[in-house]
Structure 1
Amino acid sequence: MAWALSRLLLGVTVVLMAAATGQGAVGHEWATGTWWLDRFSAWDSYHFVRIASVGYLPPGLECCDQAFFPGYPLLMAALAPLTGGNVTAAGLLISVVAGTVAAWLLWRLVADDPRGGPVAAGRAVALLLLAPAGFFLVAVYTEALFLALALGAWVLAGRRHWWWAGLVAALAAGVRVNGLFLATGLVVMYAVQWHHDGRPRPRPDVLALGLPALGVGSYVAYLHSRTGSWDAWREAEARGWDREVAWPWEGVAAAWRALLDSPDAWLAASRAADIVAVALGVAVTALLARQRRWPELTFMVLTIGVVVCSTLWVSAPRYALTWFPAYLALATMRDSTAYRRLYAVGLGLSFVLLVGATWAVAHRQWVA
């Protein structure tokens, strides 16, 4: 209930901030014409709306919708009849519902954890609730849906419902490529359970771990059938956003140059936030290693690594919304006076940054 109310308040705040300063309808071909609804659809949202409306590679467009996986726009198109045919409204509905489900699943995950409990679960949800990039959990973006599916797969796997976990992880992999990192973490979780059980060989449900790869492989095969390239997804990333694989030190250097070359204060703040988010992500991986959470560590190392080893560090605060192991690790640290103080300061700082980022979004300044 607290989560649902917070999302309502966040959405109303965006609309009021925009209305108070005369922000009108967005001049974009995929805008709805309803100014308040367009407040929740910007930047990457237009790719999802276009895919849901006309599919991939319509006549006259060769790039770069291929960089976006089909799970979210397919669901938008499927639910559009419920919103009068408006796929943008359908995308917003998906994010709001999925975000609420994700909050409940995060609470459940931390509450069931041996080091957690109801108090720790409340802390984890509060951290997600006040995350500075929280606007994207009530926008036409994939973060809310991916987070709900990833947490669902994780909770199911922790309870040894592996066929269901594999299926849900496959759905997550159909939403974002990070679903492959989720699947790798599940492989480690399966291995840990197998070791604890002392079985001589894995159970038949080990086959469920291959379901996410089948989902991604199907999308790659589809793009090949349309473009003739088995590497169409990566090519779209490179062509549309100039994102290439790099050594970590090259990625750090590129992020620093991007910060120094920022043409205005808002873009500089966003690029600085990218660097800070990645640094905090690296710190969390160290915390997960200290807590000996090997499946969660695997997911985080791969997720952070793909950003670090890239020539384009962008949207890292938004990506951090899907780093559920971070919320688990931070909420289950050893309780002490120092921890409570640090947690309170962190929440306060997050709240200030959330307000600032929300104001920027309402005024169409680039955020994450």
Structure 2
Amino acid sequence: MTSLRSSPELRAGLAFLGSRLLLVITVLAMAALAGQGAVGHEWATGTWWLDRFSAWDSYHFVRIATLGYLPPGLDCCDQAYFPGYPLLMAALAPVTGGSVTGAGLLVSLVAGAVAAGLLWRLVVEDDRGGLVAARRAVLLLTLAPCGFFLVAVYTEALFLALSLGAWLLATRRRWWWAGVLAALATGVRVNGLFLAAGLVVMYAIQWHRDGRPRPRWDVLALGLPAVSVGAFMAHLHSLTGSWDAWREAEDRGWDRSIATPWTGLAQAWQALLDSPNAWLAASRAADIAAVALGVGVCVLLARQRRWPELTYLALTVGVVVCSTLWVSSPRYALTWFPAYLALATLRDGTAYRRVYAVGLGLSAVLLVAATWAVATRHWIA
């Protein structure tokens, strides 16, 4: 009990874990009330309650964890997914009785709790942060509209935990460990390269403030994420003969390619207009809203002169803005931890508290709606 009192980040993590377990129960209750059974998919488990947390991208992770990349008879498009999460699923499958899907769910639950605790600590140690701001940041994460994906067999929870760990260590100037965690994050999602870019800016700022004539040896830690990506690209090359296999899979499987921002916006808007039902229309509207929110937070970060955070988020949002596919942006936003930091540390006042309360209430409503939609398979991002 004493250790819990002395470790508020642990309490934050456990509280977040409790909220995720409540979300799991809510998903199962909603699915049961809607008469939803096990999912009819070759990579579904056949266990109805476990299949509630596995869909779309999840099947790619399960297949990679089970068979590796490009097994006989399959030439696309698992190579669009980085190996970190499937490798961890395969490693932990014995813990869950051999269930790879169960291992993925376990990873998400634990990683989400770790991410919440790290977010608390990061905001507390921030120059403009503190206990009140930390509570607000964790609440924003807890009630994020797409919070279901922090308990699903998806990469968001693991990537967020690794990213926050790397960032917190970098703020403490523990660069070798920060580089290792950033490399692990890059092994989970390619966005880890954007995280690394933000860390480069943070290192440069610290170097300038120290007034050192040259960088320390720990500057080499900033190259570890590139090593992580290079190893994955080399593995895909050994299987496909192409050094560009990852991008080719993105294009072939999802028709995702580089485009001008106005082209991406036009396609996102057209997808909204062409939506065949209200759920898909709401999802497409949320895609546009999430990108707009990301751009807005980038402006806020610039005003707050948070240059490392701005670098990471601007690249992360920019790669979506400059692509032909904005789909799933609200889910991606779960990993935009600079947004929680920036919004939670705004100058306190009556107006801010009112806007924060309204925003939190709206997020809670959207979380319930989105959770019902995915629990009953009306929508999956």
User: Which bracket does the TM-score occupy, shorter chain normalised?
Assistant: over 0.9
Q: Pick one of 213, 217, 231 that aligns with 2:244.
A: 231
Counterparts of 2:68 and 2:214 in 1: how far apart (Å)?
44
Measured on the aligned residues, the alpha-carbon RMSD in Å equals: 0.5
Count of aligned pairs? 368
Residues 136-170 of structure 1 deviation map (CA, whole Å, 9 limit, x = unaligned) = 00000000000000000000000000000000000
**Structure 1 residue 261: Cα displacement:** 1.0
User: TM-score, normalised to structure 2's length?
Assistant: 0.96
Give the Cα–Cα distance (whole angstroms) in 2 for the partners of residues 87 and 341 of structure 1: 44
1:199 positional shift: 0.5
* Runs of 4+ with deviation above 4 angstroms: none
**Is 1:86 equivalent to 2:91 in the alignment?**
no
Counterpart position of 1:307: 320
1:272 correspondence with 2:282: no
How far the C-alpha of 1:37 sits from its partner, in A, is 0.5
Distance 1:20 1:365 in 2: 14
Residue identity matched to 1:187: V
Give the corresponding residue for 1:54: 67
How far is 1:263 from its partner? 1.3
Q: Which amino acid aligns with 1:302?
A: L
> Which residue, out of 319, 333, 336, partners 1:320?
333
Offset, 1:4: 1.4
Q: Which runs of 5+ in 1 are unaligned?
A: none
CA distance in 2, matches of 1:247, 1:283: 19
CA distance in structure 1 between the aligned counterparts of 2:379 and 2:68, rounded to whole angstroms: 26
Percent of aligned pairs with the same residue? 80
Letter in 1 for 2:171: G
Check if 1:296 corresponds to 2:313.
Answer: no
Amino acid at match of 2:321: V
Paired residue secondary structure (1:174): helix
Matched residue, 2:38 = 25
Q: Deviations over 1:44-78 (max 9, x none)?
A: 00000000011100011000000000000000000
Out of 85, 110, 116, the position equivalent to 1:103 is: 116
1:269, 1:314 → 2: CA distance?
12
CA shift at 1:367, angstroms? 3.5
Tell me the CA shift for residue 2 of structure 1: 1.8
For the residue of structure 2 that corresponds to 1:214, the secondary structure is: helix
2:81 is equivalent to residue 73 of structure 1 = no
Residues 1-56 of structure 1: CA distance to partner in whole angstroms, max 9, x if unpaired?
32111101100000000001110110000111110000000110000000001110
- Which residue, 349, 360, 366 being the options, matches 2:373? 360
SS in 2 for 1:160: coil
In 2, the alpha carbon distance for the partners of 1:87 and 1:367 equals 20
**One-letter code aligned to 1:20:** L
Which of these residues, 40, 45, 55, is aligned with residue 42 of structure 1? 55
Give me the whole-angstrom Cα distance separating, in 2, the residues matched to 1:36 and 1:205. Answer: 47
Measure, in 1, the Cα distance between the counterparts of 2:350 and 2:75: 57
